[in-house]
Amino acid sequence: MRVSIGSDHAGFEQKEMLIGYLESQGFGVIDRGPETDGRVDYPDFAALVAQDVTGHEADFGVLVCGTGIGMAIAANKVRGIRAANITRADFAALAREHNDANVLTLSGRFVSFEENCRIVDAFLSTPFGGGRHAGRVAKIMALEG
Ligand code: RB5
């Protein structure tokens, strides 16, 4: 499974640590930057990761900023993306099972690396539930027009 990952300056440190963690778990990782912790604009990196997911370069995207909120708002502007900003592991599983989320956005400033690893584990290991959830997700996607 391949994961595309990106951050802004506020998420840079955890992005670098998460790359190591994901690789240690056997995932292929596409690092869309940034390459340093210098100040950048999070929508630029949300776009790169979102496009990897919609273009099938990656199975899932992971984005880290200060809160994860800006990354989610930006990624959800890309057609085909269902990004969820997650701060606890059980919600990560539900975002996959109920919402078929394809991008996970994380807080680099308010959530520990250890908790973010648990969130990533839950997100990447939980399949979409289908069934009654499938029609609801289809209705979400129909909102794109
Ligand atoms: C950057 O200061 C901060 O605004 C950004 O990382 C993110 O938290 C936005 O949602």
- Based on the structure, what is the number of domains in the chain? 1
User: Ligand 1 centroid to 20 CA: how many Å?
Assistant: 23
Q: What residue has token string 């800006």?
A: 70
Q: What distance lies between CA 2 and its chain's CA centroid?
A: 12
CATH number at residue 53: 3.40.1400.10
pLDDT band at 56 (very low <50, low <70, confident <90, very high): very high
64 lines ligand 1 (CB under 6 A): no
Is the previous residue joined to 34 through a cis bond, with omega within 30 degrees of 0? yes
pLDDT at 80: 98
70 lines ligand 1 (CB under 6 A): yes
pLDDT at 98: 98
- The rounded mean pLDDT for the chain is 98
Domain that holds residue 33: 2-142
pLDDT at 25: 98
User: Ligand 1 centroid to 136 CA: how many Å?
Assistant: 30
By the 8 A CB rule, do 37 and 13 touch? yes
Quick: pLDDT tens for 22-31: 999 999 999 9
